[in-house]
Amino acid sequence: MAITANSYARSGQTPGRTRRRLNHKTLWAFIFITPAVVFLLGLSVLPILFSGWVSLSSWDMITPIPKMKWVGLDNFAYLINRDAVFQASLRNTFVFAGVGVIINTALGLAGALLLNSKIRFRTFWRTIYFLPIVTAPLALGMMWSYLLSKNYGLVNNLLGIFGIPPQPFMASPDTALGTIIFIAIYQSVGYYIIVFLAGLQGIPTEYYDAAAVDGANPRQSFWYITMPLLRPVMLFLIVTNTIGALQVFDIVFAMTDNTNWSGGGPANSTVTVVLHTYMTAFKFFKMGRASAMAMVLFGIIMVITLIQLKLLQKRD
């Protein structure tokens, strides 16, 4: 207490005056962050609450909002018990997200390790890998839909040179979803590589030097130095890209025939939750069911994200 009193005496301030200054600064801090908080609430929280309200109603976007018919949990019951397309979309979405994120993580880490080594033209290869990221997904989907066409696509023409018969790719329910996963991996693996590469270059070389002095081989250095120190980077990539993959829409919309009633052909083999939600809302104007789908997907993403954070975060 004597030291504290002496410090206040030397500074010429009393505890009460210091407390008032802190309160004054806190007030100004709240004043400056209030617009950002209001903006965030207006663009995120309020739409979520409105979507939850609509999911419990029957609304065609033409009827005035105050006159929406309250139906309770009927929309959710319909999705679970009667909507076979929604069930197929859930399955396709999980397959797309799970397979895509796992393969992207493995290829991204392998590519980052390669580019982090002493190879020639590293800057050139980094640019090549990153180019698909800056391409619009809709444009990328349209480009690949022509390249993979069964009848006149360039890929099948090249396969024919080697005596391989034309492959259906997007024309068959057995290969359509796998083809879209391949295109998604092609688009996003460069992002994984760049982020992993940044993580690798942030690891001090002294750790590897010390491990080499202790007799560790490259495999041991990778498992006991590289992987533990890359855990935060891997956590970021897996969580953020899983969230994005569960909301996939643009590539599927661009590469599939959406003239049928549900979209995501052939035979609903590529329909995803967001695509089915879009078709239900803006083609059939069943906004209540579409909002129910959105709320189900919101809950799934939240649960999966919490599980991933629990499993992947660094324990104290």
We report the CATH number of the domain holding residue 174 as 1.10.3720.10
CA distance linking residue 292 with residue 298, whole number of Å: 10
Do 31 and 86 lie in one domain? The reply is: no
CA distance linking residue 262 with residue 242, whole number of Å: 24
Strands 57-58, 69-70: parallel, antiparallel or unpaired by DSSP?
A: antiparallel
Beta-bridge partner residues of 70: 57
Q: Is residue 7 part of a domain?
A: no
Do 39 and 85 lie in one domain? The reply is: no
CA distance linking residue 76 with residue 200, whole number of Å: 45
Question: What pTM was computed for the model?
Answer: 0.84
Question: Domain total for the chain?
Answer: 2
Q: Are 271 and 89 in contact (CB under 8 A)?
A: yes
CA distance linking residue 230 with residue 122, whole number of Å: 21
Do 250 and 130 lie in one domain? The reply is: yes
Look up the domain containing 79 and give its range.
74-312
Q: Is residue 6 part of a domain?
A: no
Q: Are 276 and 293 in contact (CB under 8 A)?
A: yes
Do 34 and 81 lie in one domain? The reply is: no
> Which residue type occupies 199?
G
Do 21 and 135 lie in one domain? The reply is: no
Do 162 and 38 lie in one domain? The reply is: no
Q: Is residue 10 part of a domain?
A: no
Q: Domain boundary at 46, 70, 94, which?
A: 70
Burial of 303 (0-12, 13-18, 19+ CB in 10 A): exposed
H or E element at residue 70: strand 69-70
Ordered per-residue pLDDT tens for the chain, 316 residues: 444 445 444 555 555 566 666 577 788 888 888 888 888 888 888 888 999 999 999 999 888 988 999 999 999 999 999 999 999 999 999 999 999 999 999 999 999 999 888 778 777 887 888 888 888 888 888 889 889 988 888 999 999 899 989 888 988 889 999 999 999 999 999 999 999 999 999 999 899 999 999 899 989 999 999 999 999 899 899 999 999 999 999 899 888 876 555 567 788 899 999 999 999 999 889 999 999 999 999 999 999 989 888 877 655 4
Do 175 and 94 lie in one domain? The reply is: yes
- Cα torsion for 132, 136, 139, 142, to the nearest 10°? 70
Q: Is residue 8 part of a domain?
A: no
